[in-house]
Homo-oligomer: A and B are copies of this chain.
Amino acid sequence: MTDLSRRHLLAGVAAAGAATALTPFAAPAARAAVPAAGAQAPGFYRYKVGAYECTSINDGARSFPLPDTFVKNVPKEEALAAAEAAYMPKGMVTVPFNPQLINTGGKLVLIDCGNGIANFEPSKGAVGRTLQNLAAAGVDPKSIDVVLMSHLHPDHTNGIRAADGSMAFPNAEIMVPAKDWEFWTSEDNAAKAQSNEMMKNYFANVKKIYAGIESKVTKYDWGKEVAPGIISVEASGHTPGHTAFVVTSNNSKILVQSDVTNIPEFFLRNPDWHVAYDVDPVQAQATRHKFYDMAAAEKALVVGFHFTFPSIGHVEKDGTKYRLVPIAWNPVI
């Protein structure tokens, strides 16, 4: 006899339902049932890069009905099929968000800072959890020396503000890509974007989030050591100043890809698909191929802001596509 046929399995489940009425498994009177915990485990994960201790910090994940133009250059049905193939909730797409904390020994560097705690409410999705998960990891926001932005989209930058509008990381130098700063703070560019609701909101958001702190922002260029062992790498297309990072310590390194791809289930599997959020989708597509060809050839460890937590993996070539192989969870570091 085997119970593994589908028919038998379903029969088993039906039997379980029937058995409930007769069940001998009522909770013993002597001990109360244990209430459900109702909360997820903390969303942080530690890993080493040479002598550096890094922590992937989950800002949360947002599931929403797949917008008609989430993927701009394929029919919606194709995008829905990719979501279904990735076992996302039916008709929905799930986008996670994961800043990275790098402790170089001398400096504590936070790469991107999430959606901001103001978005930490169910109606806006389960996001804005960076401060909560930093706290779970035992990290005082006051101890962060550098907040290093990959680009100036709200999900990466809005977390620099606490719920009351004050600076969430009051002692941190805020570093932004010079080309992104130039683009998003240009009144000319903002004026030209007024007919595009999304772009209009992005320009307004930069203005709001950086209001009053403009003079304190450090603008950085590509190909520079922006923090100890952290090199800024040009990865434009998603935004004009969109930046990836190479973090190197001793002989180890990781590639922090930022938004070279949005969700890998769509745009790493299908590197020629264009996500709605790209300022220059053709350039973003070229960047993706270059970046992943290099990462695959080097078998490099890649960290993706929009990879599912803990958001670290290897990228493999799969014909003209790519495949992400998530890392194995390490119970120690």
Contact = CB atoms under 8 A, between A and B. Distances in A.
A277 interface: no
Given A45-B41, A223-B12, A333-B39, A33 B137 contact: no
Given A31-B171, A36-B53, A41-B46, A233 B332 contact: no
Contact of A331 (B12, B106, B126, B229): B126
Contact of A327 (B13, B87, B229): B87
A126 B333 CA distance: 10
Interface in A1-32: 1-6, 8-9, 12-13, 15-17, 19-20, 23, 25-28, 31
A269 to B, nearest CB: 12
A136 B222 CA distance: 42
B25 A228 contact: yes
Contacts of A72: none
A260 to B, nearest CB: 9
Interface residues of A, number: 94
Contacts of A88: 328
A329 B314 contact: no
Nearest to A61: B331
Contacts of A15: 223, 225, 231
A63 to B, nearest CB: 9
Interface in A70-90: 86-88
Contacts of A294: 4-6, 9
20 contacts: A3-B223, A5-B290, A6-B297, A25-B104, A25-B225, A25-B228, A33-B108, A34-B139, A37-B137, A39-B46, A40-B45, A40-B46, A42-B42, A60-B331, A61-B331, A87-B328, A96-B331, A308-B326, A309-B329, A309-B331
